[in-house]
């Protein structure tokens, strides 16, 4: 007999290091609408650059190689006014993010989801996948870490790996009607390839005519994540990367045409430039007494544990069992496996942010000579 209330969610497309601008826009919306946002989700190209050294670890053209504003939130000069969660894209402080493969705080109140993750907030389950698709790297382990070699490791470090997609596929619900464990929100940087067919394709090709070949050949986006969408059936899927706002609705129907689960509402957002669809405000029903802190997702922890043997930091192709394998291939946690996770107790994500590189206190000509920070391990 508990009541419900609205969670105020803001979703942003590619952030490109414009934290100051984004929080300013959100403050204006809060003022005009008379509410406060509870959570901000950023869909990649976040650019968590701590200092000038980190700029050496970001794959970007010289024109865009700029310190931007994240460093102020890292040094403590500013504090993120809204709890912020993000996935990685293809323009990131890749050296810094490689310190947090399973996610973690990159600054107070700013949480990076790692290569793949599921976290909880206010009773909602939020899944994420970082990076963009590239066939060459898809089956490899996550082998890249600073110091990056000269053969493009800083580029391949943000390419999506099958291991992470496969782990997320273990979230598929046990029951056809998706009531056992719905994922509320999925976040990725590139779009699931094929999603365009579920929205206004003609409009998209009018505003982005150079997408036509890729759309027609089904190659616009990540070819592995449309199946993930069908398996996972999230209520919402947010993405960015193509610098255009685009909505789609994907039904989940069985072979006889009956609806098996709520359709997935897909929304892609633009980058932070004026008059573009860069931010979307959403309201979601949550319980009155919902915990407004991030916590680990028990099922995801069980999946990580079940599939830990397959973690690879090697450049060679990683083996993953499939339905044709003689060994276990379905890693959806059993009751016992989940019970072992619950024994861990409180799953609230601790607010344990730590600086692992020298913060930039003042943007001076001297500070611009900084060398990349060494890879941090404890």
Binding site for ligand 5GP (CB under 6 A): 14, 45, 90-91, 210-211, 214, 220, 241-243
Dist CA 141 CA 313 (whole Å) = 5
- Peptide linkage before 220 cis (omega within 30 of 0): no
Least distance (Å) between residue 189 CB and Mn ion: 6
- For the bound state, the minimum distance from the C-beta of residue 132 to ligand 5GP, rounded and expressed in Å, comes to 7
* CB closer to ligand 5GP out of 121 and 246: 246
Give the CA-trace dihedral at 75, 76, 79, 85, to 10 degrees. Answer: 40
Distance in Å, CB of 45 to ligand 5GP, minimum: 6
Q: Which is nearer to Mn ion, 268 or 304 (CB)?
A: 268
Question: In the complex with Mn ion, which residue's Cβ is closer, 42 or 85?
Answer: 42
The answer to whether 271 contacts Mn ion (rule: CB under 5 A) is no
C-alpha–C-alpha distance, residues 99 and 115, integer Å: 11
What does the alpha-carbon distance between residue 234 and residue 228 come to, in Å, rounded to a whole number? 10
Q: How far is the CB of 243 from Mn ion (least distance, A)?
A: 8
Instruction: Identify the three-state secondary structure at position 236.
Output: strand
What does residue 163 show for φ and ψ, rounded to 5 degrees?
A: -55, -45
> Which partner from the list ligand 5GP, Mn ion, none does 210 bind, CB cut-off 5 to 8 Å by kind?
ligand 5GP
Q: Which stretch binds Mn ion (CB under 5 A): 77-85, 90-98, 218-226, 352-360?
A: 90-98
Tokens describing residue 294: 């991030």
| Cβ-closest position to Mn ion | 241
| Tokens linked to 299 | 């099922």
Cα radius of gyration rounded to whole Å, the chain: 20
Nearer Cβ to ligand 5GP (47/51): 47
Nearer to ligand 5GP, 129 or 302 (CB): 129
Min separation Cβ 354 and ligand 5GP, Å: 29
Pairing state of beta strands 110-112 and 84-86?
Answer: parallel
Alpha helix (H) ranges present in the chain?
Answer: 19-33, 70-75, 94-97, 153-156, 162-169, 201-207, 212-216, 225-232, 298-306, 335-342
Closest contact distance (angstroms) between CB of 77 and ligand 5GP is 27
The correct pick among 120, 233, 241, 332 for binding Mn ion (CB under 5 A) is: 241
235 contact, one of Mn ion, ligand 5GP, none, CB 5-8 Å limit per kind:
none
Site of interaction with Mn ion (CB under 5 A): 45, 89-90, 241
């Amino acid at each position: 007999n508990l009541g419900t209330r609205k969670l105020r969610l803001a979703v942003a497309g590619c952030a490109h290091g414009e934290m100051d601008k984004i929080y300013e826009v959100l403050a204006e919306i809060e003022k005009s609408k008379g509410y406060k946002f509870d959570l901000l989700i950023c869909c990649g190209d976040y650019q968590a650059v701590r200092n000038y050294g980190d700029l050496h670890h970001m794959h970007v053209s010289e024109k865009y190689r700029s310190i931007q504003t994240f460093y102020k939130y890292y040094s403590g000069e500013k504090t993120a006014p809204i709890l912020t969660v993000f996935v990685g894209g293809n323009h990131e402080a890749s050296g810094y993010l490689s310190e947090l493969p399973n996610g973690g705080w990159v600054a107070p109140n700013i949480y990076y989801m790692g290569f793949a993750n599921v976290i909880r907030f206010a009773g909602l389950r939020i899944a994420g996948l970082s990076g963009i698709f590239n066939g060459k790297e898809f089956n490899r382990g996550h082998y890249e870490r600073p110091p990056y070699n000269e053969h493009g490791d800083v580029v391949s470090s943000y390419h999506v790996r099958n291991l992470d997609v496969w782990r997320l596929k273990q979230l598929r619900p046990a029951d056809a009607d998706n009531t056992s464990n719905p994922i509320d929100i999925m976040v990725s940087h590139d779009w699931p390839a094929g999603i365009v067919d579920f929205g206004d394709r003609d409009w998209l090709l009018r505003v982005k005519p150079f997408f036509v070949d890729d759309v027609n050949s089904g190659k616009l986006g990540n070819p592995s994540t449309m199946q993930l969408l069908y398996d996972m059936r999230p209520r919402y899927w947010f993405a960015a990367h193509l610098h255009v706002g685009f909505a789609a609705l994907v039904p989940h129907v069985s072979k006889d045409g009956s609806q098996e689960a709520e359709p997935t509402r897909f929304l892609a957002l633009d980058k932070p430039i004026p008059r573009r669809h860069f931010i979307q405000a959403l309201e979601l029903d949550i319980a009155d007494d919902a915990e407004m802190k991030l916590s680990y997702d028990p099922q995801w922890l069980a999946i990580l544990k079940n599939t830990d043997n397959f973690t690879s930091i090697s450049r060679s192709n990683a083996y993953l069992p499939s339905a044709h394998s003689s060994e276990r291939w379905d890693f959806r946690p059993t009751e016992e496996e989940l019970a072992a996770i619950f024994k861990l107790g409180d799953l609230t994500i601790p607010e344990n942010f730590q600086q692992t590189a020298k913060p930039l206190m003042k943007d001076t000509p001297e500070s611009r000579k900084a060398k990349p920070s060494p890879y941090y391990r404890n």
